[in-house]
Amino acid sequence: MATKKGRKISGGRYRTERKKKKSELPGKPRMVRLGKEKKKLLRRRGGRLDVVLLSTDKANVVDPKTKKARVVKIKNVLEVPSNQFLARRNILCKGAIIETEIGKARITNRPSQEGCVNAVLIS
């Protein structure tokens, strides 16, 4: 007995998979670079606006001993544990070790999604 094309053994038909909706598509990956501060507004679902950071040269650094926060200038990206090539390109991401005016600091947030750089002083 020959089976019909596109049918299961039981006679039911195979349904094609649907395409992704625009809301299900991934966003563009944004790499925050070290440089003059540049931000962008993105419209989200429901008309909500998100501030996205494209480049910056400042960071909110907290000193764990004194529990005080300061806005300081970033000099350089020393190390990125997740990817060594990001440090060479001076890209700021979570976990990156940066050199600031007051010493080394580790970035504790995700700058590409939050619109600022928060860090904790490590030396």
28 is a domain residue = no
Q: Say which CATH number the domain at 88 has.
A: 3.10.290.70
Give residues with Cβ within 8 angstroms of 108, minimum separation 6.
94, 118, 119, 120
Q: How many domains does the chain have?
A: 1
Q: Does 109 map to a domain?
A: yes
Alpha carbon separation from 65 to 50, 104, 123 (Å, rounded)? 33, 14, 11
Is residue 105 assigned to a domain?
A: yes
Domain containing 48 equals: 33-121
pLDDT digits (tens, 9 = 90+) for 50-88: 999 999 999 999 999 999 999 999 999 999 999 999 999
Q: Give residue-wise pLDDT tens across range 4-25.
A: 778 888 889 988 889 999 888 9
